Chains A and B, each alone.
Chain A
Amino acid sequence: MDLSAISPELMVASLMVASTPLLLAALGELVVEKAGVLNLGVEGMMITGAICGFAIAVESGSPVLGFGAAALGGAALSMVFGALVLGLLSNQVATGLALTLFGLGLSSLVGQSYVGIKPPSTPRLDLGPLSDLPFFGRAFFSHDWMVYASLALTVAVWWVLNRTRTGLTLRAIGENHDAAHALGLKVLGYRLAAIAFGGAMAGLGGAYLSLVRVPQWTEGMTAGAGWIALAIVVFASWRAGRILIGAYLFGGLTVLQLNLQAAGVALPVEYLSMSPYLVTILVLVVMSRRKGRSTAAPASLGKPFHAQA
């Protein structure tokens, strides 16, 4: 075992890369759940985004187009979910699961001809002198633009949720959709928009996996990232700032685990590979023990809404 082979600055750098897909997907799901909808299809939307982004990026040679397609693909799939749970009042848990099962099948179907191909590389964002700083340059300022976009999106989501009329309306709908309806707020419209946003974000997260993090297409490559994103929302007690902490914590864990594998720690690979899932469970337990108003889920989360005329 050689722990000195682990370079701190590279670890921080790869932590940011590993965390970005989780951050994107979890931010999207946060908005969905704040609106009172539980979409368990994050995994399915992520992997759909992963293959949509990959395919379009390969075909067009442009990662930007790839990410755009991923967002569209994730959003399109989420609209199926939206139509079912909002329009046809289907069970949210079952429909979310269906979304995941369908997304996994669809993506591997579409991905048949993309196995083993390298995608065009996503360019590094030129941050000028910042990138040349010792340690910090390599750790924080040498990433592709998507890493910074995800951080900007975190701030944006926080701002919209807590500082704007739109965010207040969204939160109100998630708290009590009947009262919101009685006040004339457009419950279904807001929820549909939130679901679409969640789908797009999950799609982006998936594409980040296939275009940057890995980067190639393999079947089932999300490997539970969507579910971890769902857990991060619980961990974060439905707050945008803590989503960032949660995503970076889990990203860090993955990176640490991979580094330990590479360093040849005397633990079988399988046990290291399962550690992120075990830690996720552990964190869920700790978070769900803490009961209080500030950590409570939106009160209407997962409940169907049928406007009584």
Chain B
Amino acid sequence: MTTPLLQIEGVTKAYPGVIANNNVSLTIGRGEVHALLGENGAGKSTLVKMLFGLVTPDAGQMVLDDAPYTPASPEAAREAGVGMVFQHFSLFDALDVAENVALGMSDPPPRRDLAQRIREVSEDYGLPLDPAQIVGDLSAGERQRVEIVRCLLGKPRLLIMDEPTSVLTPQEVDLLFDTLRTLRGEGTSILYISHKLEEIRALCDHATILRHGEVVGQCVPAEESAGRLAELMVGRRLDPPTRPRSAPGAVALEIRDLSLPPPHAFGTALRQVSFSVTSGEVVGIGGVAGNGQDELLSALSGERLSAPGTVTLDGTDLSRKGPEPRRLAGLLAAPEERLGHAAAPDMSLSENTIVSAAGRQGLARRGLIDWGAAKDFAEGIIARFDVRTPGPGTTARALSGGNLQKYVIGREILQDPRVLVVNQPTWGVDAAAAATIRQALLDLAAKGAAVIVISQDLDELMEVSDRFAALTEGRLSPFRPTEGLTVSEIGLMLGGAHDMEAAHAH
């Protein structure tokens, strides 16, 4: 091997109040899969944005192929041979695959040639795609293929992948890794960003570990244990949550034949979802994003009403009741989107208690709000869940992701729910906050509440739940006990064998 493909030396980038990258250096060789490992907020995204020309570094230099590399725009980055697959897809739902691909190219060929080339590339790399399909109709895995194909058409020397597996089923992950290994074999370098340790150990040649914006370690991941990598990443040992067992109680929540049409053009329909949860139990519902998780939460929280008899709490039919009566009855929920759904970004933490606790906590009597009580309740959440904030007068959007998530989950837990439904409780949250939240959910169940955890993070579900089911295209598989469930079994539940065949047949 000659000189490395990319050298980053002493790169620093600061935002007001935070240094996102401090003196970061790393080297990526030709045909190497290099992992960039770090927690949420460790500075991975900033580094990647600098590589892709979206952000300019304050200091330091980058060298690509022995030439100084200072991309002023994504276009310049693409021309220099750097392609990127985004974590939050940079796709346009209403446009078709070919149009989406064309938008990511500096100089796209005419439409007919482009469609032909998309088909060629997608066949060469095992990424089946139809150029004429509307992107909004595609599954998460297919959407990622569009992004990858878009990059590959630019014949990149360096491919950046930001958390590519978070939206994939285990089988899809295997397919993706095959593609990436093919690329590596052709000499393409890959910068692979993730916080999933096992994947990195399976795929990557080298790893750079970031913490608080600084490089804290370089290693060959296959030679390190996952535990050691985790310790480098988080900076300390985290104890797995403890789960005090309790005897299964009576059925708390019963869902029977719950079906709902999709809420909007690109939404998912719920199809005959049935399950029940008992007191003291945590059930996990896994699945790749966009398979009906949001829709299921809305149907349970009361934001959308369903047919009579479909949602029953302790024998009382709540199907036709909105969120407030359901809360009063004891069915509480915490949605996935912290800002804008669980909390209003521009309102203070005190004000945000009123969103879900006005009735159940008696913060409003005969319509008149008791702002003093709201402030007390907010202070209670802050204290109990160790929310780092100047005080209850702070606006929600001023909090970091982890702190706000602790706040919104805490707001529901402290209301002493009979049943609590949470959707992606630790998505985009740092490891310490995630551990706090998981422990709080287990403690809640230990006190006799029923807890439903909807999550994409299978490790999380294995850790906290007693029973597991998969939500796929709005259908819920039967529940199975978590203990003894293997990854491949989960994969089959998630994908459904027939769905994988369908994906290949495209």
Chain A residues in contact with chain B, CB under 8 A? 165, 168-169, 171-172, 175-176, 178-180, 182-185, 291-293, 296, 298-299, 309
Contacts and interface: CB of A to CB of B under 8 A. Distances in A.
A175 B100 CA distance: 11
Contact of A179 (B55, B89, B134, B265): B89
B86 A184 contact: no
B5 to A, nearest CB: 22
Given A168-B102, A172-B103, A184 B91 contact: no
B93 A299 contact: yes
A236 B281 CA distance: 53
B94 A175 contact: yes
Given A168-B99, A296-B265, A183 B15 contact: no
A165 B90 contact: no
Contacts of A169: 103
B315 interface: no
A293 B133 CA distance: 14
Interface in B48-72: 53-55
B379 interface: no
Identify whether the interface residues of B are mostly helix, strand, loop, or mixed.
loop
Nearest to A182: B90
Nearest to A307: B54
Nearest to A292: B265
Contacts of B136: 293
Contact of A165 (B89, B108, B265): B108
B103 A183 contact: yes
6 contacts: A171-B94, A176-B91, A179-B90, A184-B75, A293-B265, A299-B94
By Cβ-Cβ distance, the 6 closest A-B pairs, closest first, are A184-B74, A179-B90, A182-B90, A175-B92, A184-B73, A184-B75
A293 B55 CA distance: 35
Given A185-B103, A293-B265, A176 B53 contact: no
Contacts of A171: 92, 94-95
B148 to A, nearest CB: 15
A250 B103 CA distance: 36
Contact of A168 (B89, B103, B134): B103
Given A168-B95, A175-B94, A293-B94, 12 more contacts: A168-B102, A175-B92, A175-B95, A176-B91, A178-B90, A179-B91, A179-B92, A184-B77, A293-B134, A293-B136, A293-B265, A309-B15
Interface string B123-140: 000000000001010000
B104 interface: yes
Interface string B103-134: 11000100000000000000000000000001
Contact of A172 (B73, B74, B95): B95
Nearest to B72: A184
B23 to A, nearest CB: 20
A296 to B, nearest CB: 6
Interface string B475-496: 0000000000000000000000
Interface of B: 15, 53-55, 73-75, 77-78, 86, 89-95, 99, 102-104, 108, 134, 136, 265
A176 B93 contact: yes
Given A168-B99, A184-B53, A176 B265 contact: no
Most buried by B among A171, A182, A292, A299: A182
Nearest to B55: A309
Contacts of A176: 90-93
Contacts of B102: 165, 168
A78 to B, nearest CB: 25
Most buried by B among A178, A180, A183, A292: A183
A175 B108 CA distance: 20
Contacts of B94: 171, 175, 293, 296, 298-299
Nearest to B71: A184
A168 B111 CA distance: 12
Contacts of B74: 182-184
Contacts of B75: 184
B92 A172 contact: yes
A113 B318 CA distance: 69
Most buried by B among A179, A184, A298: A184
A182 B265 CA distance: 24
A293 B137 CA distance: 11
Most buried by B among A165, A172, A185: A172
A170 to B, nearest CB: 11
Nearest to A171: B95
A178 B90 CA distance: 8
Contacts of B90: 176, 178-180, 182-183
Nearest to A293: B265
B15 to A, nearest CB: 7
Contacts of A291: 265
A63 to B, nearest CB: 41
Contacts of B99: 168, 172
B104 A183 contact: yes
Contacts of B92: 171-172, 175-176, 179-180
A298 B432 CA distance: 40
A175 B93 contact: yes
A127 to B, nearest CB: 36
Contacts of A184: 53-54, 73-75, 77-78
B103 A182 contact: no
Most buried by A among B75, B86, B93, B94: B94
A237 B77 CA distance: 37
Contact of B54 (A175, A182, A293): A182
Contacts of A293: 94, 134, 136, 265
Nearest to A179: B90
Nearest to B73: A184
Contacts of A185: 103
Contacts of A175: 92-95
Most buried by A among B54, B73, B102: B54
B267 to A, nearest CB: 12
Contacts of A178: 90
A171 B100 CA distance: 11
A288 B293 CA distance: 28
A180 B54 CA distance: 12
